[in-house]
Structure 1
Amino acid sequence: MKRIKVLADNEGMSVTAFEAAIGASKGVFSRALANGTDIQSKWLLNVVENYPQYSTDWLLTGKGEMLQAANKTEERTETYLNAELEGVSNAVIHSLQRVISSQEVTIKSQEKTIISLEKQLALLEREIALLRKD
């Protein structure tokens, strides 16, 4: 089971340390590797349960990508994050649109007030000018 060695190497540990990591007795994998014998299914199950990022197909048959499951998980996570960001972006856009609408209403109201005040100022300036003539 050379793939166990590859997996242990990928995890940065010796086969002996890998055996301990999954709760196997010392030599369970080492002996199988040295003798070219099969590994009991319970140990393979422990590997799959403890290292779900590795492809079960790859581990059992050697076919496919070693980290295929991890790549799919990353793709799903990325898709979820993009959708979440898009949802946040849409929420922010809608919120900003409401603020802009509100500000536009305020601006129009203030424009009317300014026009009214300008008219009042013009009237007061005429009255003052008339008072000064007298």
Structure 2
Amino acid sequence: MSSILKRIKIVSEKEGISVSALEASIGASKGVFTRALANNTDVQAKWLVNLAEKYPKYSSEWLLRGEGEMLKPVLVKEDEETYLTPELETITNGEINTLKQLIASQNITIKSQEKTIMSLERLLSSLEHEIESLRNK
């Protein structure tokens, strides 16, 4: 059995439903996963996409490649308090600061690209006007 098929089976078990019920929940016809499991054949990518969309708590990286954690880290809100699941609690302040620096750097890049786009749009408009003037002569 392929490792993706094993992980699909794990998802059905974790959800407490049969593989057939999992198929139905993503809009797949009966047998899409069960036949693949029985025959060790491939599953169409669209069904994997539907599975990832229908069950977003499972990491796509884990589902497709078997890498990383099975469940995505989640922020939970209860009684107006938000707290991290255990997976997110392991993130260090250093990692958070690194991510903040990366975001700041990306924001600088975005602003620079916005200026470049505006400049290119003005240049394009000027060139279009010039071409129109030349055509009218």
* TM-score (norm: length of structure 2): 0.52
The letter of the residue matching 1:64 is G
Which position in structure 1 is the counterpart of 2:11? 7
Match runs of 1:54-133 below 5 Å: 54-67=58-71, 69=72, 71-74=73-76, 77-78=82-83
Determine which of 13, 33, 42 is the counterpart of 1:29.
33
- Aligned with 2:45 (options 38, 41, 46): 41
Whichever residue aligns with residue 48 of structure 1, its letter is A
How far off its partner does 1:72 sit? Answer: 3.8
Task: Count the aligned residue pairs.
Answer: 76
Runs of 4+ in 1 over 6 A off after TM superposition: none
Measure the CA separation in 1 of the matches of 2:83 and 2:29. Answer: 39
1:19 aligns with 2:36: no
Quick check: which one's strand share is greater?
2
Structure 1 alignment gaps of length 5 or more: 80-134
1:46 is aligned with what amino acid?
Answer: N
* Structure showing the higher helix proportion among its residues: 1
Q: Aligned with 1:78: secondary structure?
A: strand
Secondary structure in 2 aligned to 1:64? coil
- Identity among equivalent pairs (%): 59
Structure 2 unaligned blocks of 5 or more: 85-137
Q: Normalising by structure 1, what TM-score?
A: 0.53
Shift of 1:36: 1.1
